[in-house]
Chain A
Amino acid sequence: MNYCVGIDLGSTTTKAVVLGESGEVLGRGITNSRSNYEIACDVSVGEALISARFGLLEEALAAEGVEADRRKVQLEELEQGFREEQYRGDLRELGSVMGRLLEAGTYSAQEADAVTCVLDKMEQNAGSLYGRGKSRKSDFFRDLAGGEYLELVEGEAKTRALSFDRLVGLYDKAILEVENTVAHDESFSSRIKAALGRIPEQDALLAKAISAVVAMNLTKAGSVGTGYGRQTLPFAKEDIRSEILCHGLGAHAMFPNTRTVLDIGGQDTKAIQVDGNGIVTSFQMNDRCAAGCGRYLGYIADEMNIGLHELGPMACKSTRPVKINSTCTVFAGAELRERLSLGEKREDILAGLHRAIILRAMSLLARSGGIADEFTFTGGVAKNPAAVEALRKLIQENYGERTLNISPDSIYTGALGAAMFAQREWRRRHCA
């Protein structure tokens, strides 16, 4: 079957959306951006195809008459198992890279031993990360393994009186290499089969459906890339579309009545006005200063040593947001510390920080022409409930009642737009 793919190479994450021949979304994939852009793109497309196959699998099961509830259980278990397989694979790779670095570098036997210990523990813990109903701090190997490594190695460093910084440095070096070498090319089939072996809910029907899906041929018919902040995108010039247009079109596809789109990503914020056909009529974006973008929240989460997705819920508990002025990303941590030392409550500070970010976005929105009905919020930060709440409030205060659309897939908006451009191009060529 033919598919078209759109790839959004963002500053923090790379997203891919795969569309089927009639324009339906087959799958979505995401990975963290890294210095090897091509690998980032390949991984995200790979992930999107995996999710596409899972989708197809569900269809196949449905066609076999498996009822919805059971399908859900089976698929979830299967997917968790699949992820665990992936994780273990990456962990092995990490182990071998670290082993090499340990040998090549100036590391002591003590240090090598500590690392081996930590890696072993991580291997043992892998199983507990995955399973039905489990959720993780992040979906990216870098963060997941990094968080755990840091925690474990701190203990090791203390008991063995080793330099914590050096051991962290080793991980940072290794992960860079791991990320930029493995292009998740291990086949879907071997992993899904291993995952199948692992789950209790398997049966013949499932095995059959899996074989069918594994056998299915997916052929790329077109691709369009977008992305900002990088001088060189790994796409041919004619396959690149402006991010602004992709976001406009993507938002339009999700919510056809959208007239205003706000996208807050890792390093940039965009305010876009679109017409009834998803065509951009005006836009504004931040310039030269990344204050108040998603990365800012990343620093804050790091500072507090919690996951990004925990930040918003914590801020939502606030009753009295603190007024924050500086949204310089790099100062974020300092600001947080200072406020804490002044005795302000964590959630109140966080609420203030979120409001500050949204205030900046409000300025851009105003600059681009205000907020029309309907309004769609996209980008990674749209996943953050505190940001959404602040936005909702500020819109209400300044523009009155507006329909605010947020899709759980909002982070894929740009990639969706790109995929639609790819699809249009393919149709044009196909029909001609």
Chain B
Amino acid sequence: MSEEKQVFKDDSQLRQKTMIADHYSRLAAAPDTGEKSVYTFVPGNLTELIRNFDLLPVLPEINALQSAMRGKSKEYIAAAEREGHSEDVCTYVKCDVGMKRAGNVGPTGERLPDPDLLLLSYTGCFTFMKWFEILKQEYDCPVTMLHVPYQGEGEITDSMRKYVVDQIKQKIIPALEKASGKKFDIDKLREQLRRSAQAEDDLVAVLESAKNRPSPIDAYFGGVYYIGPIFTAFRGTEQAVDYYRLLNQEIQERVRLGKGPVTPDGEMKEERFRLVVEGPPNWTNFREFWKMFSEEGAVCVASSYTKVGGVYDTGFRHDPDRPLESLAEYCLGCYTNLNLPSRVDTLERYVREYQADGLLVNSIKSCNSFSAGQLMMLREVGDRTGVPCGFVESDLVDPRYFSGSNIKNRLESYFQMIEQKRGGVQV
């Protein structure tokens, strides 16, 4: 997220960029400083626990998306496909494999350290398991797996929670202790979780600011910047607490001034369409994609993608009093671990609470976890709320599957459709 051209001039944005850049520098220096790294995933991850042992998290998904933003993914994917990886599968994995081949150079141009531990948090996506099986063949390092069961019946049962907590206690913590050579410190964890909860409060306030008219934020395109620190390496840190406090202050100020969101081309002038967006964004043409919205005055007021790491807006907070249990619930509760009925309920609630004009699905070729079922979700939300629903297709990091003219054509039709339905301006 740091490579994107400077679009936000706000302090919070600068702060965020520095935080992330510093983290990558620290990773690059790790072989010299002796700091150790743990590779793990975004959804429902155990950042606090990892940092409890002073280990540095590395998130291959983030590397992949950064590679895409820097225009490297095409070549990485090609390299992986040359090795026999199929065209049909998740491009994050291929991008990561290709990046490894190209020397494992991270987004800041510095080399990423090899993992000292692969912490496979198998949450909300089956591909994660395959991904780390592949990485395990690449690196000669220990791997430990946290299997997080799916909320198939739409709830977290005691046995699920127990299964996760037991694994954390009996497998994950010992593996982390072994990798770091440090003992687990529960009091430190409680402190971390307290800070997590604090940052989470501010983040929720930021996301919910979109209920204002005009919305001061874009909760999808802008949103991906907001969730960066909390879903990656910073949850539970003092830095995160500061960042989210600052961010929230800025946003509340925008609300007070009645300002719209900042877009790649400056402040958005008129808010013409309020959308809820389901599905991850495309990273290879992120700005081009965003522009297709901002130019038409479309603001994303809520999105499911900004809940991939974890869902906070239904009240979940990390809890210092139930440290391991709340970690387990965090893992179990991330958006892609919800069953389809719960996802539909969530989107419906967003459409209503954020007074959206429509639901737009960006269906991602790579990601079965998100995409399988989206067509049905779209119809269901449409039926329940009566708002027009739109559908576009692209991919996360494979530029071959981003057809700008096609998407633009669909989006324009969609916007005109909303407008027509309003009995509005043009017709």
Contacts and interface: CB of A to CB of B under 8 A. Distances in A.
A and B, direct touch (CB closer than 8 Å): yes
Interface residues of A, number: 21
Given A282-B382, A369-B379, A287 B406 contact: yes
B416 A242 contact: yes
B427 A424 contact: yes
Contacts of B412: 242
B413 A243 contact: yes
Interface string B369-391: 00000010001001000001101
Contacts of B74: none
A242 B393 CA distance: 18
A280 B420 contact: yes
B420 A279 contact: yes
A320 to B, nearest CB: 34
Interface in A238-263: 241-245
A125 interface: no
A281 B421 contact: yes
Contacts of A275: 421
Contacts of A241: 416
A244 B417 contact: yes
A242 B406 CA distance: 12
A284 B409 CA distance: 12
A22 interface: no
Contacts of A288: 403, 406
B417 A279 contact: yes
Contacts of B393: 287
A372 B403 CA distance: 31
A283 B388 CA distance: 10
A244 B405 CA distance: 15
B420 A245 contact: yes
B211 interface: no
Nearest to A242: B413
Chain A at the B interface: mostly helix, strand, loop or mixed?
mixed
B90 to A, nearest CB: 19
B148 to A, nearest CB: 32
B377 to A, nearest CB: 13
A81 to B, nearest CB: 42
A282 B389 contact: yes
A280 B413 CA distance: 9
A275 B420 CA distance: 11
A92 B265 CA distance: 55
B136 interface: no
B406 A367 contact: no
Interface in B390-404: 391, 393, 403
Interface residues of B, number: 19
B421 A283 contact: no
B285 to A, nearest CB: 15
Contacts of A279: 417, 420-421, 427
Nearest to B392: A287
Contacts of B417: 242, 244-245, 279-283
Nearest to B427: A424
Given A282-B382, A369-B379, A245 B413 contact: yes
B410 interface: yes
Nearest to B405: A231
Nearest to A281: B388
A129 interface: no
A284 B405 CA distance: 16
A280 B409 CA distance: 15
A401 B403 CA distance: 38
A244 B415 CA distance: 12
A241 B420 CA distance: 12
A228 interface: yes
Contacts of B427: 279, 421, 424
B382 A228 contact: no
Interface string A205-242: 00000000000000000000000100100000000011
A285 interface: yes
Contacts of A244: 413, 417
Contacts of A284: 391
Contact of B413 (A231, A283, A369, A424): A283
Given A241-B416, A245-B417, A280-B420, A228 B403 contact: no
B388 A282 contact: yes
B370 to A, nearest CB: 18
A279 B406 CA distance: 21
Contacts of B379: 369
A287 B395 CA distance: 13
Ranked 10 nearest A-B pairs via Cβ: A242-B413, A244-B413, A279-B420, A280-B417, A242-B416, A245-B416, A231-B405, A242-B412, A279-B421, A287-B393
23 contacts: A242-B409, A242-B412, A242-B413, A243-B409, A244-B413, A245-B413, A245-B417, A275-B421, A279-B417, A279-B427, A280-B420, A281-B388, A281-B421, A282-B388, A282-B389, A282-B417, A285-B410, A287-B393, A287-B403, A287-B406, A288-B403, A367-B375, A421-B427
Interface of B: 375, 379, 382, 388-389, 391, 393, 403, 405-406, 409-410, 412-413, 416-417, 420-421, 427
Interface of A: 228, 231, 241-245, 275, 279-285, 287-288, 367, 369, 421, 424
Given A245-B416, A245-B420, 8 more contacts: A242-B409, A242-B413, A242-B416, A245-B417, A282-B388, A283-B417, A284-B391, A287-B406
